[in-house]
Amino acid sequence: MAEQTEDLKAFERRLTEVISGHQPAARFWRIIFIFVTLCTMVGAWTWLFDPETSQVSLSQSLWNHPFFTISCSILLLLFLFGIHKRVVAASIIASRCRTFLAEYNMSCDDNGKLILKPRPAP
């Protein structure tokens, strides 16, 4: 029994280590994502409320608003390169662990701490 307890403790330590290791990277990418999204929103605001926008072609309108065009392109590239996965990497790991731990009447929180569930009644 003591060996099983040690195994569980070692697994929990490793799981918390992995999840906490993803937190700084996720925080960095979350800040980048918020910044680029805000830039795109500000650029879209100026682009949409420019009276010249409705009178020129789309390409000319985008050429007249390089801030919006560049920030929107960067946001698109971030999504193409998977920023959404990097932002939620720790929660993806935790949810996958919950899936396989359910078979053993266990779960884990968002930080990787194990939660032992009571045994089901026979």
Range of the domain at 43: 1-116
Q: Tell me if 31 is assigned to some domain.
A: yes
Tell me which amino acid residue 80 is: L
Q: Tell me if 121 is assigned to some domain.
A: no
Instruction: Quote the number of domains for the chain.
Output: 1
pTM attached to this predicted model? 0.71
Closest listed residue to residue 19, CA positions, set 80, 108, 107, 100 = 108
Q: Tell me if 122 is assigned to some domain.
A: no
Interval 6-59: pLDDT, tens: 888 898 899 899 888 888 888 899 999 999 999 999 999 999 998 888 889 988
Q: Tell me if 5 is assigned to some domain.
A: yes
